[in-house]
Structure 1
Amino acid sequence: MKIGIDIRSTLKQKTGIGYYTLNLINGLAKVDPENLYFLYSHMRLFDFKKRLPDVPAPNFKHRTDRLSFRPDLKMNDMDTFHSSSYDMPKFKSAKLITTIHDIIPLVYPEGYPSEVLNKLEHNIKKVLNESALIITDSNNTKKDLTARFGPKNRIDVIYPGRDESLAPIDNKKKASDYLKNKYGIEKEFILFVGTIEKRKNVAGLIEAFLDLKTKKKIPHLLVIVGMRGWGGDAAFRLASNSNLKNEIIFTGYVTRKDLESFYNIASAFVYPSFYEGFGFPIIEAFSFGVPVVTADTTSCGEIAGDAALIVNPEDKDALREAILKVIDDDNYKKKLIEKGFARLNLFSWKKTAEQFKKIFYEIGGQNESKKN
């Protein structure tokens, strides 16, 4: 069977979708040595800003469109074609499978221009009509799609795997010394990782932290790792206007080495987001053995399960008490950490790739059992 995969998101500076696509093809290379995979890209001649990723196995080949954006012609000999993009033209014979990671702008539209929202809605309607199958990262995104657009076609949920390149550092003192030298961090700290934007509820986290510092006299710092996004100014103002502003550290974007160090040393990870399509930082924290407090809204509670302390992110008192519990109650913290490690079994790229392989056979019109 010929299977096409859209890898355009991997060619330049990678975002979440680019890493998703790379992890997917690497996972498929490990579980499927039989089928032929063709990796679709669009690159003009002498385009030195883009770079093709290495093919992960002999049954994977690049198929690069150098003249015009016509994947419907370049890839129409495929049995099935997968993309995470909404701009695919309609194929004559290849069956299209589309992953919709989230519809955050449509569900949480504050800050997005109307023309952007209208275009996104139009493109998603087109994808829903032309895809043989839709895949989402979470049941929550599936629910949002169905509620907004109706059950037009089949939607399957396939959890992505965790980033296994992020790994705990055996020598915690080394990580601690590194953070001290680079960021001046010498105390225990509570950690948040993500873009600093309104829907992430960073301002709510800061309010809860300031309450704990004032009323409970906790010794911890609050470390906020991530770039400034839309609506994030409120969080910065809240911190800068406080007489405890030196207890709150905004790092901005950090390298993966720095991120590993932060996860390794954190006393707790708090992710009180109002809306998420998946919530990768939650499982990253699990993999480092950090106890997690997260929201009961959207996909956060779904991904965390019973391995985190779940709270209503609108309830500042509940958030404050949850943070206090995970940093003060050692027995409870230990139980959460154990459950977090167990929860990671749900999120592996091998498992994700195996589920994709079965779908490729099903949608591509072949029965896997007949091949073996």
Structure 2
Amino acid sequence: MIIGINAAAAIKQPRTGVEEYTYQLIKHLTMLPEAREHRFILFVPLDTNKANIANNYANTANKNLPQPLLKEGSRSLPLELAPYLIRGRAGEDLFGFPLPANFVIKELRWPLPFLWTQIRLAWEMLVRPPEVLFIPVHILPFFHPKNSVVTIHGLEYEYFPEYYPWLHRTYLRWSTKYALKHARKIIAVSENTKQDLIKLYGGDTSKIEVVHHGIINPPQPSFKKEGVEKDSSLFKGRLGGIFKEGEREVRRPYLLYIGRIETKKNIEGILEAYKILKEKYQIPHQLVLAGAPGYGIKNIKNQISKIKNKEDIIFTGFISEDTKWQLLKGADIFLFPSFYEGFGLPVLEAQATGVPVVTSFNSSLPEIAGEGVLFVNPKNPTQIAEAVKKIIDDQNLRDKLIQSGYENVKRFSWEKCARETLLRITNKYEYTDSS
């Protein structure tokens, strides 16, 4: 089978939620033995502002393209072997990992930074459709094979429309409904997302299936949690702040949040809970907020300026994968009282590193987090603060949460995600003409 994948999100930098999902899914598809019987075309935008990666490999692409890609059974795929079709070693330059022979990259030229999916990819689907198209990030192009599979990650914009610009919200609503109507199969990343699609949009339950995200194994720590002084510096002189107040050290003990610094993630609630913890309980902990600024950052800055212990609040800005894991491994408690999550991967990452978690009892989080967390009402900062204090004071509770977290993450892996996704892409396949 010839499977096309919209891989645009996988090459974006920096990678956040849906970008990481697309990247890890493609990476682990390349590792599956059962994927070898299929041919994959990874569609990506051609970056006209940078050197075209295909130019370095055009000759090898034309000479070495495997013939099964051009003909599968009785059906031919009329691919034009332009310099934009590249394979093999070029994949490592573009994606960061090598591509096996049954994976090729096709770069689609487009002069604008927007509408690539709905115009350029749609045109490709009209004139040169693969047998099945997989869309990892919910926007199905106008023209597409009838055998299209789309992943939908969540419907936050329906529950908290005030956090989305009108045009963006309208486009998300339309594109999700369009995918729900026209795709052969919908993959929801959680049972909660599936139920939201059915409840809010009247989705056909028979075409919506749940495939959870995976999680990578955390790298080995560069330090031991035991035997390290509470005030030892982990990141001296290496973390900047969005306030540009000069360099400050992240010191133990600290509370940690990782994600976009924006209103819908309930950063204001975290700050209010931290204020209570400092003023009422005098905890020694810093608060580290790691992530890029987003919607509502001005209000968040204003709130911080009024906190008495604001010098103990550290913003890192966007962090690398290495820094993320290092921060997690040094954290005392991970805070994630979000208002809504389609999946909630940061909770699993904290559990995988042996960090107790305080998170919300809403959306997909109870489904994903299991028993290795303390659940709170995200709209109640006092409850968030009390949950944190309980973990600080009760070593038995801490140990129980850590062990339960380790057990919970065993349910998730990117290999499992890739295998189950491939089954949804190929299951009960019957070829039909493109729409």
Does structure 1 residue 359 correspond to structure 2 residue 411? Answer: no
Alignment of 1:1-372 (within 5 A): 1-15=1-15, 16-31=17-32, 32-43=35-46, 48=51, 52-53=94-95, 55-66=98-109, 68-69=120-121, 70-73=123-126, 75-91=128-144, 93-152=145-204, 154-164=207-217, 166-172=218-224, 177-182=233-238, 183-365=248-430
> 1:90-120: CA deviations, max 9, x gaps?
33x5500001112222321114232322222
Deviation at 1:42, TM superposition (A): 3.6
SS at 2:252 equivalent: coil
**Matched-pair contact (CA < 8 Å) for 1:90–1:130:** no
| Cα separation, partners in 2 of 1:98 and 1:179, compared to 1, 3 Å | same
- How far apart in 2 are the matches of 1:46 and 1:52? 15
- How far apart in 2 are the matches of 1:82 and 1:234? 35
SS at 1:180 equivalent: coil
> 1:38-95: CA deviations, max 9, x gaps?
222342778537774355322222234348542313552414544424141233x550
Q: CA RMSD in A?
A: 2.5
SS at 2:385 equivalent: helix
**Matched-pair contact (CA < 8 Å) for 1:7–1:18:** no
**Matched-pair contact (CA < 8 Å) for 2:146–2:184:** no
- How far apart in 2 are the matches of 1:96 and 1:39? 15
**Matched-pair contact (CA < 8 Å) for 1:132–1:363:** no
Aligned residue number for residue 369 of structure 1: none
SS at 1:58 equivalent: coil
Deviation at 1:178, TM superposition (A): 3.6
User: Aligned partner of 1:169: which letter?
Assistant: P
| Cα separation, partners in 2 of 1:318 and 1:74, compared to 1, 3 Å | same
User: Aligned partner of 2:40: which letter?
Assistant: Y
Aligned residue number for residue 113 of structure 2: none
> 1:243-278: CA deviations, max 9, x gaps?
211122222222223222211111000111111121
- How far apart in 1 are the matches of 2:302 and 2:181? 45
- How far apart in 1 are the matches of 2:52 and 2:278? 48
Judge which range, 228-237 or 125-134, deviates more. 228-237
| Cα separation, partners in 2 of 1:55 and 1:39, compared to 1, 3 Å | farther
- How far apart in 2 are the matches of 1:171 and 1:133? 45
- How far apart in 1 are the matches of 2:99 and 2:197? 33
- How far apart in 1 are the matches of 2:358 and 2:47? 47
SS at 2:260 equivalent: coil
User: Aligned partner of 1:39: which letter?
Assistant: L
**Matched-pair contact (CA < 8 Å) for 1:141–1:277:** yes
User: Aligned partner of 2:154: which letter?
Assistant: D
Deviation at 1:290, TM superposition (A): 0.5
TM-score scaled by length of structure 2 = 0.77
Percent identity, aligned pairs only? 32
**Matched-pair contact (CA < 8 Å) for 1:168–1:260:** no
Aligned residue number for residue 370 of structure 1: none
**Matched-pair contact (CA < 8 Å) for 2:157–2:169:** yes
Deviation at 1:158, TM superposition (A): 0.6
**Matched-pair contact (CA < 8 Å) for 1:25–1:56:** no
Aligned residue number for residue 66 of structure 2: none
SS at 1:356 equivalent: helix
Over alpha carbons, which structure has the higher Rg? 2
- In the comparison of the two structures, how many residue pairs are matched? 364
- How far apart in 1 are the matches of 2:219 and 2:185? 34
SS at 1:30 equivalent: coil
Deviation at 1:296, TM superposition (A): 0.2
Structure 2 stretches of 5 or more lacking a match?
A: 54-92, 111-119, 239-247
SS at 1:294 equivalent: strand
- How far apart in 2 are the matches of 1:149 and 1:308? 31
| Cα separation, partners in 2 of 1:74 and 1:41, compared to 1, 3 Å | farther
Deviation at 1:132, TM superposition (A): 0.3
